[in-house]
Chains A and B, each alone.
Chain A
Amino acid sequence: MNILEIEHCTVCYKNGTPAVSDVTFAVREREIVSIVGESGSGKTTLIRAILGLLPPGGHVTEGKIVFNGMDLVTADDRTLRDIRGRSIAMIFQDVGSSLDPIRRVGIQYREAVCAHEDLTKKSFFTRARDMLARMHLSDPDRVMDAYPFELSGGMKQRVGIAMGMTSAPRLLLADEPTSALDVTIQAQVVSQMKELRDRYGASMILVTHNMGVASYLSDRIGVMKSSRMVEFGTRDDIILRPKDPYTVSLLEAVPKLGGKMYERN
C-alpha cells in the first residue's frame, strides 16, 4: 500500500528555474525512503513541498502529491494544518535553532503536541516522558525542565525526533536529521530512528547527503541531481547495482574504511 505518492512534481521559485523537476516516486507503509544528493540538488525543496512548507516564492507548479487519497498541492490551509504534525511530522536539520532559547524545552514540547491534540497536562507529560525515554534520554524530567542551551546537540536532536513522533504520525519527514551531529551521536540517533520504524510502523522519508546512513536505514533510495531524480530503486539496486553514472560517481567519492588511499606518487 502506498502511503504517499508524488507524481511528476515540479517546484519553482520566483526566478522561474525549477528546483525540483518532474519527480515521481511513492512511499509504502512501514517503509524508509532516502533521498540522497548533493547541496542544491533540490532534495530539501522536495520534502518541504510535501507539507506546503516551501520558503516564500516557492510553488508546486506541476504534478500531484497524494497522501491518503488527497492531493496536498491543492488542499486548503485548514486541511494542511490538520495533517501537519498529526499525520505527517517533520524533523529539521538543526532542532536546536528551531527551539526558543529562553523557554524551557517541556513547555515548547507541550505546545507543539497540543497544537494537534487535545491532551490534559498529565496525559501529555506521561506520553512525553515515555517518548523521551524511548529516545534513550536517560533523565526525561531533567530534559523537560532544561533550557535548550543546557542540552547537547545530540540531545536536542533526539528531543526533536521525540516531538515529531509523539502524535504517532503515519509519515515522518526528516531533513538531514543527523548532519549536525558527531559520528558517535549520529549512530545513536540513526539506531533510534530505525527502532521507531520497527516499533510504530511509521513510514519515513529521509533526506541526507550521507550515503552510509541512507544505505543502512533505507528500503528504497532516490538519487537527485540538479533538480531531477536520476535514479530511484531498492536499496540494493542503488548501492550494489547503480545504473546512473552519477550514482556510481557519488558512491565512489564516499571515503570508506579500508577503501582507497589518495595517491602519493
Chain B
Amino acid sequence: MSGTELDRKGSDKDQEGETLLCVEHVSKVFPVKKRRLTAVDDVSLTLYKGEMLGVVGESGCGKSTLAKIIAGSLKATSGRVTLNGIEYPKLKGTAAKNHRRNIQMVFQDPLSSFSPRMKIGTYLSEPRRNYDHLPRSEAWREAGALLEQVGLPASFLDRFPHELSGGQLQRVAIARAIAIDPPLLICDEATGALDVSIQDQIAALLVRLIKERNIGCLFIGHDPALVRSISNRVAVMYLGRVVELMPSRLLEKEHRHPYTGALLDSIFDVYCDQSAEIRLLEGEPPSPLRLQSGCAFAPRCPQCTERCRRTVPELKDIGGGHFVACVET
C-alpha cells in the first residue's frame, strides 16, 4: 500500500471545467425471487465537459448497470442524474425523445450491435436523419466524411457489417455515436473484444475525437492499465459502490484503497519479474444478494479490522481530487 505523503500539487489541474453530468446518490435494486440484488449502491460521480472519466471494476461490480442508468435505458431506484442541470430521466414525451441525442453509447461487441442487413452508410446516416431530419442524400454524404474522420475509406458506406473486421466495426460504431455531436459519450467495454494492437488504435482515436469535439466521455473497462491510460480520472467500483476516485496518472503510485491495490497487483506486467510471487486476492466477490453490514470488501481485505465489519465507509475527499472509501485511511 502506498501510504506515503504525497505531492499533490499538479493533480488538481486535471479536472477543472464545467460540470456536464452529475450522478447523485444513485442506487439500483433488482428484485430477485423476493430478495433484493443491489447492483448499484449510492454512487455519486461528476463528469466535467470534455473529460474522460474511467470506471474500472470486475464483472458484477455494477459498472454496466451504472452506464445504463446514465444512458437512460434503466431507471434508478433512487438518486438523481442530471446532464447540464436537467434531470433527464424524468423527462416525458417529445422532451425525452429530443434529449436522447445528448447521450450516445458504444458497446463491447461490435458485430452484435449492428443490424446484419443494413449497409454501413444507412447505419451512419440514421442519427442525422432521425434527429435533424436531414435528407437522405445529404446524410449519406456526411456519413462518408464521418468515416474518414475515424480513419476508414468512404467506400465502406456500401458495405455490410459482416464484411468489416471487429476493429473497423468499432470505428463505425464510434462514428455513429459522434454523428450528432452528443455532449456525453458512454463507452461500455468498447475495446473489450479487440486485440491489443487494435485496442491501442481505438483508444487513440477516442481520445482524439473527444478532444476535438469537446465531448465528455464515460469509459468503462475491466483492465485498469487501459482505463488509466485513456482517462483523466478513474473511479474504481466494487460490489456496486465507488471505492476510490482519483486522477488517472497517480493511480499506480498513490492509490489508497486495498481493493485498488489488489486489482493493480493482479495485472501481469509484460516486464514482470518471473520469480516474484503473485500477490493474490483470495476468494471471490460476495454475491450482491447477500450484502453483509460494513464494508463490502472487508471479507477479502488483508487490512480488515473490527471497525470495517461494522461501518460502511463513505467516499471521503483526501485532497487533490482524490476520494477514497475506506475506514482505515
Contacts and interface: CB of A to CB of B under 8 A. Distances in A.
Contacts of B269: 212, 215, 256-257
Give the 5 A-B residue pairs with the shortest CB-CB distance, closest first: A212-B268, A38-B195, A182-B58, A253-B200, A255-B225
A69 interface: no
Interface of B is mostly: helix
Interface in B263-312: 263-272, 274, 277-278, 280-282, 284
A102 interface: no
B226 interface: yes
Interface string A189-230: 011000000000000000001111101110000000000000
Given A255-B229, A257-B228, A257-B252, A262 B271 contact: no
A253 B281 contact: no
A154 interface: yes
9 contacts: A182-B58, A183-B224, A185-B58, A213-B268, A215-B272, A216-B268, A253-B196, A257-B225, A258-B252
Interface centre among B207, B225, B226, B263 (most CB of A within 10 A): B225
Given A210-B268, A262-B204, A257 B197 contact: no
B180 interface: no
B278 A262 contact: no
Interface string B196-221: 11111001100110010000000000
A227 B58 CA distance: 33
B212 to A, nearest CB: 11
A253 B211 contact: no
B223 interface: yes
Given A188-B280, A209-B196, A262-B229, A239 B207 contact: no
Given A211-B270, A257-B269, A38 B229 contact: no
Instruction: Report which residue of A39, A154, A184 has the largest number of chain B beta carbons within 10 angstroms of its beta carbon.
Output: A184
A16 interface: no
B155 interface: no
A152 interface: yes
B68 interface: no
Contacts of A265: 211
Contacts of B280: 184, 187-188, 191
B134 interface: no
B251 interface: yes
Contact of B271 (A39, A183, A215): A215
* Secondary structure of the A contact surface, majority rule: helix
Contacts of B207: 262-264
Interface residues of B, number: 44
A255 B226 contact: yes
Nearest to A37: B195
Contacts, number: 121
Contact of A185 (B196, B228, B229, B284): B284
A184 B262 contact: yes
Contacts of B252: 257-258
B130 interface: no
A120 interface: no
B197 A253 contact: yes
B59 interface: yes
B266 A191 contact: no
B266 A183 contact: yes
B249 interface: yes
B230 A187 contact: no
A264 B196 contact: no
Given A184-B262, A188-B280, A190-B278, A256 B222 contact: no
A260 to B, nearest CB: 6
Given A250-B196, A262-B203, A256 B266 contact: no
Contacts of B64: none
